[in-house]
């Protein structure tokens, strides 16, 4: 399969350098819990050894509920105190903001978030 994908840009096999750079940052971070969308949530544990709030459908307990909560967070539908409580209760220290997460909406309404990493493709926040 990898040979057939050579020269193509299948994101499940080949990662952009910006994504690899973000994975390196996450791997070296002292935080463990990571919030992201579905795509990166499937890759982060492998590339970083960190836990994710939402990963593979079959390996994430109560996936549908978690997906809805993740969506509400990225859509900015939570009040500041609700968003912070959500992150704290789920032991999430890093919030990934890439193209998938941006498709939900803007998280900049959460004033307690601090950008701690950024490149052309991904931003990572903490609080």
Taking the model in full, what pTM does it have?
Answer: 0.88
Residue 3 maps to a domain: no
| CA dist 65 → 24, 60, 75, 116, 121 (Å) | 29, 10, 15, 28, 27
Q: What is the pLDDT along the chain (127 residues), one digit of tens a residue?
A: 556 655 555 555 667 899 999 999 999 999 999 999 999 999 999 999 999 999 998 889 899 999 999 999 999 999 999 999 999 999 999 999 999 999 998 887 899 999 999 999 999 999 9
**In the chain, how many domains are there?**
1
Residue 107 maps to a domain: yes
Residue 5 maps to a domain: no
Provide the 3-class DSSP secondary structure of residue 115. strand
Domain range for 97 is 14-126
């Amino acid at each position: 399969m990898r040979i057939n994908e050579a020269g193509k840009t299948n994101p499940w096999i080949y990662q952009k350098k910006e994504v690899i750079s973000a994975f390196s940052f996450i791997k070296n971070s002292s935080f463990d819990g990571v919030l992201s969308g579905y795509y990166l949530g499937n890759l982060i544990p492998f590339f970083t050894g960190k836990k994710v709030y939402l990963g593979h459908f079959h390996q994430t307990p109560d996936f549908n509920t978690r997906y809805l909560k993740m969506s509400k967070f990225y859509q900015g539908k939570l009040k500041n105190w609700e968003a912070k409580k959500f992150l704290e209760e789920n032991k999430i220290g890093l919030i990934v903001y890439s193209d998938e997460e941006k498709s939900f909406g803007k998280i900049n309404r959460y004033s307690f978030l601090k950008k701690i990493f950024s490149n052309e493709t991904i931003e990572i926040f903490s609080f």
